[in-house]
Amino acid sequence: MSKQPDWYHFQETICNHFNSIGARAQTNVTVQGTRTSHDIDIFVRTKFLGQDITWVVEAKKWNHKVNKLHVLALRTIVTDIGADKGFIISEKGFQSGAVEAASDSNILLTTLSDLKNQTKHYIQDEILKTYNKRLILLENRYWSHSKKIRQQYGLRGKSGTSL
């Protein structure tokens, strides 16, 4: 049984995080751009206000900081495929040139823990949405039965009592 490399687990963890906040994320996707095709670490699709949103995520499980050239390369890919945003996620951080290249652009440089902290309310929202859907389903099932059936199954107290 072969052990997967650390970068693979890092990439899958990031992908799972995006899926957990309600987006659709896939790893190791080839996307055709205007000029050429691109191998994407994590390709994310979601909707906001009814509009499709596409993100490109590069997972960098490296022993050194990400440099400016990687930011410029991601900016080119994001533009070529028409994505809305690009992310570079690195645990070792970013060189000053990388930070400068990403400023005032649609590229976000972050660590996985910072991304999780910034998006934790989305996970909570997704959990609440799931509970709300379940509640609506249960209410519909409850009210679809007659009063007699609800009493028979102990879902409603006898007249004059509350349950």
Give tens-digit pLDDT for 2-35: 588 899 999 999 999 999 888 899 999 999 999 9
pLDDT of residue 97: 97
Residue 160's pLDDT is 56
Q: In what order do the strands lie in the sheet with 37-48?
A: 24-32, 37-48, 51-60, 85-90, 107-110
**pLDDT at site 26:** 97
pLDDT at 161 over 70: no
Residue 82 placed within a domain:
yes
Strand 24-32 vs strand 37-48: parallel, antiparallel, or unpaired? antiparallel
Question: 18: buried, middle or exposed (CB in 10 Å: 19+, 13-18, 0-12)?
Answer: buried
Domain-embedded: residue 151 = no
Q: What is the DSSP string of 103-160?
A: TTTTEEEE-HHHHHHHHHHHHHHHHHHHHHHHHHHHHHHHHHS-HHHHHHTTSSPPTT
Domain tally, the chain: 1
Of 30, 29, 31, 27, which Cα lies nearest the Cα of 10?
A: 27
**What pLDDT sits at residue 131?**
80
pTM for the predicted model, two decimal places: 0.72
At 101-155, the pLDDT tens digits run 999 999 999 999 999 888 877 656 766 777 888 888 888 888 888 888 888 888 7
154 assigned to some structural domain: no
pLDDT score recorded for residue 44: 95
pLDDT band at 62 (very low <50, low <70, confident <90, very high): very high
CATH of the domain at 90: 3.40.1350.10
Is residue 32, in this structure, part of any structural domain at all? yes
- Contact indicator for 157, 163 with CB cutoff of 8 Å: yes
More confidently predicted of 143 and 69: 69
pLDDT value, residue 12: 96
**How far is the C-alpha of 30 from the C-alpha of 43, rounded, in Å?**
9
Residues of the domain holding 102: 6-118
In a domain? residue 59: yes
Residue corresponding to tokens 């645990």: 91
How sure is the predictor about 159, in pLDDT bands with cuts at 50, 70 and 90? low
